[in-house]
Chain A
Amino acid sequence: MKKFRKCISLIAAAAILALLPNANALQASAAPAKTIYIRFDTDLHEWRMQVGSWDEGDAGLELYYLNNGNDSQKALDGDTLVVLPNTPEAEPDEDGKRPKQETGNVDLKVNARLGNLTVNRTNVVISANGIDECHVQGDSSAAVSGNVTNAYVYDNAACTFNNNVTNLRLIATVENTVDTNVSVGGTVAYASTANGGGVLKEYYNFAAGSFYFDKNSGLMTDPSQYSTTGSGPAAAPQAPAQTTAPSQTPTQTTSPSSSGEYDDVPKTGESNLLIWLFAGMTILSAMCAGGCLLVRKCK
């Protein structure tokens, strides 16, 4: 009898799930992406981390927790990692420029695919399972291991990407000319230089290990290793795609995870209303029959 009841309960649960709109989209809700700040604490003379925001009065956590803390502490897929300048930050000089900080490199190994990495006026060596958005601000240097979907290198930053970069943008916000030093060990599907006036140059499909941009000489890559024709930035590969060769063909799929509206194109799929109605009828009939049987047995 107990088994029978259990069976009925299971059928009822299945029916409720099946009849719920978008039931097929039911899934365990993941924790929302968080922001982890990393900063060199001059008092403690070591790199520390804090989650959510940087509180000057809080000593934060050791970097050990970046991979070994609980879920609210450690870096998870989709999280944002911001590497901040020293605390307290050096005062700007007469020209308004802050002296470059001498804190040494912070060496980070993150066991997650980061949604965003921002390096702000620091020197970072980082290894991750991949990065969706990577911003290397001026006065910074970074060595990044892991495929990057969108990389932005600003002003006089120096950056080495050891793996593939889908879209690489070198941006001058202070000067008119781009004076970054950037090299890429993997492929680059799309690269552009830009200043406040807009995009200056665009390049496509760099062969693996061929991209090198010098702040004095500009793009140093042999022209045979890339193309100057294409159709704008490439689509993001599906994470954690490990593309190894430049693709001349357009990407057919994009990551479904990010939100955003789709282009307005008529929907030409067939309605499933009839299938749902029949499924509902079958399940309800089964439940009803089960209920009747139960009543009879109880009698």
Chain B
Amino acid sequence: MNNLKKQLSILLAILAVICLAAAISLVIYRQAADRRTEELLDSMRLQAENETESAEAPAPSEDTGSEAESESSQEPPRELVDNPYQDSYLANEDMAAWLKIDGTVIDYPVMWTPREETYYLYRNFEGKDDQNGSLILDTDSSLDPVTTNLIIHGHNMRSGAMFGSLTEYEKESYCREHNIITLYTKECERRYEVLAVFRSQVYKKTDQVFKFYKFFQADTQEEFDDFYQNIKALSLYDTGVTAEFGDRFITLSTCVYHVEHGRFVVVAKEIEPGDFYAQTNN
């Protein structure tokens, strides 16, 4: 009997050691992956900063002038600057944009893979396995031509990475301080102002309810009204921002656990764009 107990204890000890070893290996692997990704992202951020600084320098850009004039003769010519993230676009053609919210950790590339929407969900910018994954632009959204609503999904990481800090928007004061979302696309710097913040969920296919994640394009006033009224009604507080038919939106979505398949959602309305970028041949 004692022998049996001894054998059982040894077996349990072996299992415990296996669990411990697996957990430690996983932690080490994840930390290494996190570090590698963070270094990569830092270098991309630094490049973008340098590009921006050089663009802000007084010397005129080579690309300014003629292209803008030829694009539209009615609008006043707009100075074209170099895209601060052009190197990143060149490094990976799956990158659709760069998302940044000043004062937050949200400063990441947004990947778009129509062939497989979730390809980058657990992969970093380089396509290597990474628990944080990357921000992904819903494949029903498009930047060329741009759809009414761009939906970006990101992991709600306990570390705060990706959209781990998005739920901070539940606080109205936080929203006021971080109300501008910037999306650096290939063409221009799109700016958005937070319009609504709410909790929702992924519904069953048969559920006949407002599904924020199904709104991509408003071709009629009715379609717009349906989306707008619903998000305003769901919003946790009044942001003071209004929208009308013809406006464009960005929707940031991440998992939360108030209900099964819960989602935390921040919807922002596009405002005046920032810089327009000279097109690079890639």
Interface residues of A (CB under 8 A from B): 231-235, 248-254, 256, 258, 260-263, 265-271, 273-274, 277-278, 280-281, 284-285, 287-288, 291-292, 294-295, 298-299
Complex: chain B residue closest to A299, CB-CB? B2
Question: Taking the complex as formed, is B9 at the interface, i.e. its CB lies under 8 A from any CB of chain A?
Answer: yes
Q: How far is the CB of B40 from chain A (nearest CB, A)?
A: 21
Question: Taking the complex as formed, is B108 at the interface, i.e. its CB lies under 8 A from any CB of chain A?
Answer: no
Which of B1, B8, B117, B136 is most buried by chain A, counting CB atoms within 10 A of its CB? B8
The DSSP consensus for interface residues of chain B is: mixed
Q: List 20 A-B contacts (CB under 8 A).
A: A231-B209, A232-B208, A249-B230, A250-B233, A252-B199, A252-B234, A254-B207, A261-B204, A263-B204, A263-B211, A266-B153, A268-B155, A269-B255, A270-B131, A273-B26, A278-B23, A284-B13, A284-B15, A294-B9, A298-B2
Q: Which of under 10, 10 to 19, 20 to 34, or 35 or more describes the interface residues of B? A: 35 or more
Question: Taking the complex as formed, is B6 at the interface, i.e. its CB lies under 8 A from any CB of chain A?
Answer: yes
Complex: chain B residue closest to A274, CB-CB? B26
Docked complex Cα distance between A231 and B209 (Å): 7
> Which B residues touch A253, using CB under 8 A?
201, 259
> Which A residues touch B192, using CB under 8 A?
none
The interface bits of chain B over 1-17 (1 if a CB of A lies within 8 angstroms of the residue's CB, else 0) are 11001101100110110
Docked complex Cα distance between A281 and B253 (Å): 34
Tell me the chain B residues, 111-145 only, with Cβ under 8 Å from chain A: 117-118, 121, 131, 136, 138
A262, B2: Cβ atoms under 8 Å? no
> Which A residues touch B198, using CB under 8 A?
252
The DSSP consensus for interface residues of chain A is: loop
- Pairs of residues from A and B, 7 with the lowest C-beta to C-beta distance, nearest first: A291-B9, A284-B16, A281-B19, A277-B23, A269-B255, A288-B12, A250-B210
Q: How far is the CB of A96 from chain B (nearest CB, A)?
A: 35
From B52-60, B86-94, B156-164, give the one contacting chain A.
B156-164
Q: How far is the CB of B243 from chain A (nearest CB, A)?
A: 17
Complex: chain B residue closest to A291, CB-CB? B9
Docked complex Cα distance between A266 and B211 (Å): 14
A265, B12: Cβ atoms under 8 Å? no
